[in-house]
Amino acid sequence: MATSTTGRDIYSSARLAPFSLRYYGRCLIRGSYTVKLHFAEIMLTADPTNSTRGWGKCIFDVYIQGDKVLSNFNIAEEAGGIGKGIEKVYKANVTGSTLEIHLYWSGKGTTSLPVVGVYGPLISAISVTPNFKSPTEISAGTIAGIVVASVTAVVLIILAVLWKKGCMGRKDIKDRGDKKNSQLLFSL
């Protein structure tokens, strides 16, 4: 288990992939955001009795909105050892409505030491916060849309009830006067 200086245990687990991890923040408001990436090397061992200790290296690149923000990132080296957490903070601008974070293994680092396994990019947590005051009120357009949809729904329900009761021109066969095609049922 990894530890951090802040005492949080977000570093005790991580998402891992052999080549690439992509994260999308969707439906975001346009503007500037602070992106915090939390890493801890928990795949390699820090056990002093293990003879392969220190052999493995997890090295990858990190892109935010298509811009490379970390190149040849080695978690254990940056954090000061295996099992230690590290936080990297970046600013990102969202111009559409999507924030993309991409962790990509570019072929560097361990592939089979200390044992054959997956040593691609890994991340423990991601935090994204806006650098602006989020709108707390509902816009006039949203209110108008809700009102129009509600009125339309009520009108359609009223029309359906009136049609079902026969007030909207619905006639049964017996009311049409078409007696030759109608059937009469009797029971004793």
Is residue 86 located within the same domain as residue 148? no
Residue whose entry in the numeric block shows the structure tokens 């005790």: 12
DSSP track, 43-54: SS---TT-TTTT
Measured in whole angstroms, the distance separating CA 166 from the mean position of its chain's CA atoms is: 50
> What pLDDT score was predicted for residue 138?
82
Residue 31 pLDDT > 90, yes or no?
yes
H or E element at residue 113? none
Is residue 64 located within the same domain as residue 152? no
Contact between residue 41 and residue 55 where contact means Cβ atoms under 8 Å apart: no
Q: Give the pLDDT confidence of 109-131 residue by residue, as tens digits.
A: 766 665 566 678 889 999 999 99
Is residue 102 located within the same domain as residue 161? no
Q: Give the pLDDT confidence of 80-120 residue by residue, as tens digits.
A: 888 889 999 999 999 999 999 999 988 787 666 655 666 78
Is residue 91 located within the same domain as residue 18? yes
In a domain, 118, yes or no: yes
H or E element at residue 67? strand 67-74
Q: Is the peptide bond before 135 cis (omega within 30 degrees of 0)?
A: no
> Angle at Cα 66 formed by Cα 132 and Cα 57, nearest 5°?
110
Exposure b/e, 134-146, CB count within 10 A at least 16 = b: eeeeeeeeeeeee
Is residue 125 located within the same domain as residue 153? no
Residue whose entry in the numeric block shows the structure tokens 């009125």: 151
SS3 76: helix
In a domain, 148, yes or no: yes
Is residue 89 located within the same domain as residue 164? no
Range of the domain at 102: 10-130
Is residue 69 located within the same domain as residue 147? no
Q: N- to C-terminal Cα distance for the chain? A: 82
SS3 176: helix
What's the 3-state SS for 138-170? CCHHHHHHHHHHHHHHHHHHHHHHHHHHCCCCC
Is residue 41 located within the same domain as residue 97? yes
In a domain, 176, yes or no: no
In a domain, 31, yes or no: yes
Q: Give the pLDDT confidence of 36-81 residue by residue, as tens digits.
A: 999 988 877 655 555 455 566 788 999 999 999 999 999 889 988 8
Residue 186 pLDDT > 80, yes or no?
no
Overall domain count for the chain:
2
